[in-house]
Amino acid sequence: MEYTPRQRARLRPRRKHHCQGKGEASYAELHHRLWTPPGGICGCGLGLGFLLHWLVPAIDRGVATLCGLVATGVALLAFGQLMTLAEPSETEEEPPPVWRLRPLPRPARATRRPRKRP
């Protein structure tokens, strides 16, 4: 039983080599990786600023947005530092044993062949 031409076309590799084309980053992907995190932080700060301005109308939108950005930055910094802390169970373990190794014996000197005199 053989594959039909349509099945063969669907099952064959699309690239000449399996690694071909994987190293190329598209402009959209680069743009996404570069601008999404700062955009998310600024958007969160802007949202917090508008919320603060809505709750306390005496605070101007610009100052409220600045407060929101600072609060978002501090929260992300604190979260990042908390994620790097070791768990208490990891710090209570006993230190790894110290291995005492004997020095290796010196290798035997190779015997020299006498020079041939012409």
Please check whether residue 63 lies inside any domain of the structure: yes
Q: Strand, coil or helix: what is 106?
A: coil
Digit-coded pLDDT (tens) for 30-39: 777 778 888 8
Q: Are 67 and 48 in contact (CB under 8 A)?
A: yes
The parent domain of residue 63 ranges over: 41-78
Torsion angles phi and psi, residue 57, rounded to 5: -65, -15
Number of structural domains (the chain) is 1
What's the rounded Cα separation, in Å, for the pair 44 and 32?
Answer: 17
CA angle at residue 17 from 13 to 18, to 5 degrees?
70
Please check whether residue 25 lies inside any domain of the structure: no
Please check whether residue 51 lies inside any domain of the structure: yes
Please check whether residue 111 lies inside any domain of the structure: no
Q: Which residues of the chain are under the pLDDT cut of 50?
A: none
Please check whether residue 112 lies inside any domain of the structure: no
pTM to 2 decimals?
Answer: 0.47
What separation, in Å, do the N-terminal and C-terminal C-alpha atoms of the chain show? 76
